[in-house]
Amino acid sequence: MGIIILQKAIRFATAVHVGQTRKGKSEVPYITHPLAVALILARVGASEDVITAGILHDTVEDSHGKVAVADISREFGDAVAKLVDYVTEKDHDLLSWEERKSTARAHIADMSHDALLLKSADILYNLRDLLADLEETGEEVWLRFNAPKEKQIEHHMKLAVVLSKVWPENPLLSEVQTAVGWLKSLPTSL
């Protein structure tokens, strides 16, 4: 694996996400999320391009226009840029939460297996992080989001269904389904 390209991706993503923190966690730098996504991808044997895209997957969406897919292409190649583009929510600031999530779920059917693997690692990390937060802070965790608890759970359930229909052999699918199952089984109040 080309450690140089991964180091370059880490430096690039760190610079883009500097000052950002995980939603509702002012003490957790945002860069921990893409690095964890990359680790999940490495664990299941993803290619260097997919792991690199894992590190960079939120740089376009979260840079407020400072980073474009063309920048990713120039710095990391077309394959990585295409993967980042696949998982970047379009019109992030123009659409409602429900419209963004519905569009993102519909887009899954058009993804390559590499893009699906990247999307699955992102979903899995977010689910695990949410479940850990719920255990630590309880129901107040839902106040961090732009949609209520019921909508969040429904969205994750729909994601798991779409992923299973599009690529049943996805090596992360069972972990995503298990995490969604834990989320669904939560009591109405903790």
CATH of the domain at 150: 1.10.3210.10
The answer to whether position 68 is within a domain reads: yes
Its domain, for residue 47, covers 3-184
Higher-scoring residue by pLDDT: 160, 187: 160
pLDDT band at residue 163 using 50, 70 and 90 as cut-offs: very high
| pLDDT surpasses 70 at 189 | no
The answer to whether position 190 is within a domain reads: no
Q: How far is it, in rounded angstroms, from Cα 83 to Cα 91?
A: 17
- Do residues 68 and 40 touch, judged by C-beta distance below 8 A? no
The answer to whether position 48 is within a domain reads: yes
| Domains: count for the chain | 1
Q: How far is it, in rounded angstroms, from Cα 22 to Cα 144?
A: 10
The answer to whether position 189 is within a domain reads: no
Q: What are phi and psi of 29, to 5 degrees?
A: -60, 140
pLDDT digits (tens, 9 = 90+) for 97-132: 899 999 999 999 999 999 999 999 999 999 999 999
- pLDDT recorded at residue 190: 43
- Indicate which residues carry an active-site annotation: 61-62
